[in-house]
């Protein structure tokens, strides 16, 4: 088996058919699907069992979160130690899939790109926005041309955004062949690259989670993968559609913070706290000190702005400072372990840090 699709779901009964049907319609057929159900209390599991028996369903007795579930499935396939699953033959590539609809030739074209790029640890698809949850239905022929993400982009201030998000696709990014890091909606990983990124046996930092909630797991893994010498390629021919629950606004500066207040308040407060904490932990663990020092004025300026916004509009987030201090020694220790395995130089990493 050359490729495996790992799909994680919880209480997706109303929409799961859209996502799984897009897998059944793929032009490339030789792949295996593992579905991890995070203790759904609706009819999700019954739908999968009855309508998609060819997909392997793994039922969790608790909600362990998206990326913890992905890691469980990677353990499963690679015959690595795991608490509650047995191994099967490992595939060459792994797709980690959430609530996305794949274009029919998604897998076929993704494999073609990865086979031509042996140093590619991950592939970033062109992902467009869709409005599935608001309307309850969606047709591929009516797909939007508004970009959801082309991967992560990082600034000298260490602000990290989804490249292209909210922009109409007019081909403005078609010459871009590589990105700083793949985003977590539907990354395609080379298994060899995944395995090379293990720290203390794990791929996803266990301290990035609070119960079933996590944040920044995808960025942390992708940044570490690039630091370890793997490329993150972008293909405009590999297309998917994503209904993002978080903000889709792309405006910049102080006004953008004000515009996002209403949308951000819809997000669970614990997730917002993890966002604040884990983004900073990711920088601490993976960024070269010399690069931080070069950009320190911009970093400090942004931290002051973020603190001011948080104090004014989301003061509950600041309760996370205690946990930040608590876990900081662990992050510094893990930084040492990561830097011992780093292959990309500070100069090579810096080329992805932009001032615009």
The tens digit of pLDDT for each residue in 154-165 reads 999 999 999 999
Residue with tokens 């969606």: 138
**Residue 67 phi, psi (nearest 5):** -75, -25
- Cβ-contact 249, 259 below 8 angstroms: yes
CB distance 147 to 164 below 8 Å: yes
pLDDT of residue 132: 81
> Per-residue pLDDT for 84 more than 50?
no
Query: What's the confidence (pLDDT) of residue 133?
Result: 76
State residue 213's pLDDT score.
Answer: 85
Least confident segment among 119-123, 202-206, 250-254: 250-254
pLDDT higher than 80, residue 81: no
pLDDT at 191 over 50: yes
CA-to-CA distance for 172 and 351, rounded, in angstroms? 20
- Please say if the pLDDT value at position 253 is more than 60: no
SS3 352: coil
Q: Give the per-residue pLDDT at 339.
A: 98
Per residue in 256-311, pLDDT (tens digit) is: 556 667 777 778 899 999 999 999 999 999 999 999 999 999 999 999 999 999 99
Phi, psi values for residue 88, rounded to 5°? -135, 175
Residue bearing the bigger pLDDT, 143 or 220: 220
- Computed over every residue of the chain, the mean pLDDT equals 90
pTM of the model: 0.91
Report the 10 Å Cβ neighbour count for 2: 14
Percentage with pLDDT > 90 across the chain: 80
Q: Is the pLDDT of residue 136 over 90?
A: no
């Amino acid at each position: 088996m050359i490729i495996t699709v790992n799909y994680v779901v919880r209480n997706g009964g109303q929409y799961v058919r859209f996502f799984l049907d897009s897998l059944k319609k793929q032009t490339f057929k030789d792949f295996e699907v593992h579905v991890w159900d995070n203790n759904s209390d609706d009819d999700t599991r019954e739908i999968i069992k009855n309508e998609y028996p060819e997909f392997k369903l793994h039922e969790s007795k608790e909600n362990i979160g998206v990326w913890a579930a992905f890691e469980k499935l990677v353990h499963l396939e690679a015959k690595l130690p795991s608490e509650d699953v047995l191994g099967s033959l490992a595939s060459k590539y792994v797709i980690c899939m959430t609530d996305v609809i794949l274009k029919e030739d998604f897998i076929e074209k993704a494999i073609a790109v990865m086979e031509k790029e042996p140093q590619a640890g991950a592939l970033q698809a062109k992902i467009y926005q869709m409005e599935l949850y608001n309307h309850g239905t969606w047709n591929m022929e009516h797909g939007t041309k508004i970009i959801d993400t082309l991967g992560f982009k990082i600034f000298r201030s260490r602000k990290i955004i989804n490249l292209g998000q909210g922009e109409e696709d007019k081909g403005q990014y078609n010459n871009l062949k590589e990105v700083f890091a793949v985003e977590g909606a539907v990354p395609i990983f080379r298994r060899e690259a995944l395995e090379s990124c293990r720290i203390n046996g794990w791929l996803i930092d266990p301290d990035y989670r609070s119960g079933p909630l996590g944040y920044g797991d995808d960025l942390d893994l992708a940044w570490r993968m690039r630091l370890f010498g793997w490329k993150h390629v972008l293909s405009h021919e590999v297309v998917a559609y994503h209904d993002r629950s978080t903000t889709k606004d792309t405006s910049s500066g102080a006004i953008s913070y004000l515009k996002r207040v209403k949308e951000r308040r819809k997000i669970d407060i614990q997730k917002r706290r993890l966002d604040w904490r884990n983004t900073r932990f990711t920088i601490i663990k993976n960024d070269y000190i010399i690069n931080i020092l070069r950009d320190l004025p911009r970093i400090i300026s942004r931290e002051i702005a973020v603190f001011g916004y948080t104090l004014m509009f989301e003061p509950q987030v600041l309760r996370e400072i205690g946990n930040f201090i608590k876990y900081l020694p662990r992050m510094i220790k893990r930084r040492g372990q990561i830097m011992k395995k780093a292959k990309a130089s500070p100069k090579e990493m810096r080329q992805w840090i932009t001032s615009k």
